[in-house]
Amino acid sequence: MSITRLQKEVLTNLPFYEERVDLACAFRWTARLNMHEAVANHFSLAVNDDGSQFLMNPNQVHFSRIKASDLLLIDANDPDTLAGPNAPDPTAWGLHGAIHRNVRHARCVMHVHSIHATVLASLADSTLPPIDQNSAIFFNRHVVDAHYGGLAFEEEGERCSQLLVDPKVKVMVMGNHGVLVIGDSVADTFNRMFYFERAAETYIKALWTGRPLRVLSDEIAEKAAREQEDYPGQAERHLSELKAILDEQEPAYRN
């Protein structure tokens, strides 16, 4: 019997086990991509119908070490969440709790301070223009929060959550802060976060040249964005391949 199969059989008593595995994979691969920041940043995944209960990473644990069993199961409507011995990071609670309470279509939420998205968030105009196929994916599908108010404690989290009420908006460029991505699943959200960082990198490096940008027309950018949304199974296959690599190289993420 393989190690991975044994781990699956032993740990299936964990609630929401497959969801935990997906999320643990996303954490570890984000670290491999150097899109994490020390022991900060947070991912969450709703596990009930209204999104009020969600899995999230434990406080101050490095993304590269997170396992399926480490993930906290949190109730967004429980005012005593931060009083317990296994409380989440207060800023994670403030931001993710507010989004899961207020934005039902945000089933998964990923927040990072990845390098290029954060450079974009530091510009006076933090809008990502459609200059290539990847950036066109986000045409009319991202919003810029230009009113940074400090660390994302509860009041700041509530304010930010209101910027995501339009179901078409899947990415929030958090001015002076970083980026937050939402989606229907871990696969959907991780894939979007990955491509936003790649698109931001292309844009920032294009600006470095000092030469004029080749910006797509609104019509073509919207067409490309819709085509990407309708592209079958790409996000799921992306995550499946990442799990296959981790199953070979560091299967402990499933524990």
- CB under 8 Å to 19, separation ≥6 — which residues? 45, 47, 55, 186
- pTM of the predicted model, to two decimals? 0.92
Residue 107, token pair as written in the block: 């089933």
- Domain containing 105: what range? 3-254
Confidence label for 12 from pLDDT (cuts 50, 70 and 90): low
Give the number of C-alpha atoms closer than 13 A to the C-alpha of residue 222, restricted to the C-beta side: 5
Asked if the model's pLDDT at residue 1 lies above 70, the reply is no
Confidence label for 175 from pLDDT (cuts 50, 70 and 90): very high
In the chain, how many domains are there?
1
Percentage of the chain with pLDDT > 90? 82
Residue 5: the pLDDT is: 40
For residues 123-131, average pLDDT: 98
Residue 11: the pLDDT is: 53
C-alpha radius of gyration, the chain, whole number = 18
**CATH classification of the domain holding 24:** 3.40.225.10
CA distance 110 to 25: 13
Asked if the model's pLDDT at residue 226 lies above 90, the reply is yes
Tens digits of residue pLDDT in 51-90: 999 999 999 999 999 999 999 999 988 888 888 777 888 8
